[in-house]
Structure 1
Amino acid sequence: MGLPVPAPIDDGDRERVAELLQRACGEGRLTLEEFSVRVGAVWAAETDADLARVAEGLPAQPIVGSSDTVDQILTVFSSTTRRGRWRFRDRTVRANTVFGSTELDLRAVLTSSDVIEITGRTIFGELTVIVPEGVEVDLTGTNAFSSREMRLAPVPRVPGTPEVRIHVTSWFASVTVVSRPPEITR
């Protein structure tokens, strides 16, 4: 007589846990990177116990420092870096760079949106956007006398992660989008 075989889980169970994680991300209890790692585990789960492990340990309250809200970034003759826990005021952030450098690291951004939009202009400067691996990115906009590069890891999209849409006009500039593996382990 062997051990009982656990019943397989269905997509409805996975979707409920993914929605729980998305709400936690929107409330500031998970970063986009933490959300990506956990939601990837949701879709890889084979049993109820696997799903329970993915959802365990969610902070009950927003993490300290997670209330820094941004809707516009202006960089002129300088450099700006956004890292760590931060949140978009809504789903769009405007990033304008003139004779400077702007780096936006979205791995720890807090959002409950299905789409993250970055719009703006880069003139005689550079814009770098860092996303977690497995996030889909769409890069569009006018590109004159500039370079535009997408360096995304060849991994499948993690279901449930937001799409990142970047629409930037660039003149004599460099626009780079790069994915990096998670720094957290779970």
Structure 2
Amino acid sequence: MTSPMRVPPSDPEREHAAELLQKACGDGRLTLEQFSARVGLVWAAEDADELARATDGLGQPPIVGSAATVDRVVTVFSENKRQGRWRLRSPRLTVRTLFGSTELDLREVLTDQDVIEIAGSCTFGELKVIVPEGVEVDLTGAVAFSSRKMHLAAVPRLAGTPEVRIHLTSWFSNVEVVSRPYTLPPA
């Protein structure tokens, strides 16, 4: 007995699935990391079943997380970490770090934006930004007596994921951008 021929999904079908995932991410039903992984599956799908699995479970209500939206992170003589599920109020996040340490983990951020902009300054401090693998990052801004490092995995950009643009002025500081792989949540 021969197996049925697998018909690859059309581009409009893939685009529709990617739009569903983007809306789910904006609604809080998927994190940026989950969105990145699923949208990769959409573009790699070889048949309708694989495409359907990529959008499976989108009818479920959002997972509990921070309901507060964030548009500014200010750290002065302190440590400030944004991890887990959190929502961006707009596509632009202002960051100010003075004699402190700030960590922004964007892997579970809730957004439906095509571009996430992080702008601000870091003076006598540290700033670390963590993104999911496959997300494109651009790091710009003035650097004086500072260290600036980008450690992004050498993986192709996942179609449909937002671009992260970081424009930061740093004085006597350490600025680091790293990507970390998607990890499946415990069953």
TM range (shorter): over 0.9
d(CA) in 1 for partners of 2:116, 2:146? 24
Q: Which amino acid aligns with 2:43?
A: W
Gaps of 5+ in 1: none
Q: Secondary structure at the match of 1:119?
A: strand
- Measured after TM superposition, the shift of residue 62 of structure 1 is 2.2
d(CA) in 2 for partners of 1:31, 1:178? 18
- Measured after TM superposition, the shift of residue 59 of structure 1 is 4.5
TM-score, structure 1 as length reference = 0.96
Answer whether contact 1:141 1:167 (CA < 8 A) is retained.
yes
Aligned to 2:47: 47
TM-score, structure 2 as length reference = 0.96
Q: Secondary structure at the match of 2:153?
A: coil
Gaps of 5+ in 2: none
Q: Which runs of 4+ in 1 moved over 4 A?
A: none
Q: Which amino acid aligns with 2:31?
A: T
Matches within 5 A, 1:109-120: 109-120=109-120
d(CA) in 2 for partners of 1:3, 1:84? 44
Q: Secondary structure at the match of 1:94?
A: strand
Answer whether contact 1:84 1:109 (CA < 8 A) is retained.
yes
Answer whether contact 1:66 1:110 (CA < 8 A) is retained.
no
Aligned to 1:17: 17
RMSD: 1.3
d(CA) in 2 for partners of 1:108, 1:161? 13
Q: What per-residue deviation string (whole Å, max 9, x for no partner) do you get for residues 102-140 of structure 1?
A: 000000000000000100000000100000000000000
Q: Which amino acid aligns with 1:15?
A: E
Q: Percent identity?
A: 63
- Residues 126 and 17 (structure 1), Cα distance of their counterparts in 2 relative to 1, 3 Å cut: same
- Residues 93 and 84 (structure 1), Cα distance of their counterparts in 2 relative to 1, 3 Å cut: same
- Measured after TM superposition, the shift of residue 57 of structure 1 is 1.4
- Measured after TM superposition, the shift of residue 66 of structure 1 is 4.2
Q: Secondary structure at the match of 2:107?
A: helix
d(CA) in 1 for partners of 2:132, 2:93? 18
Answer whether contact 1:68 1:87 (CA < 8 A) is retained.
yes
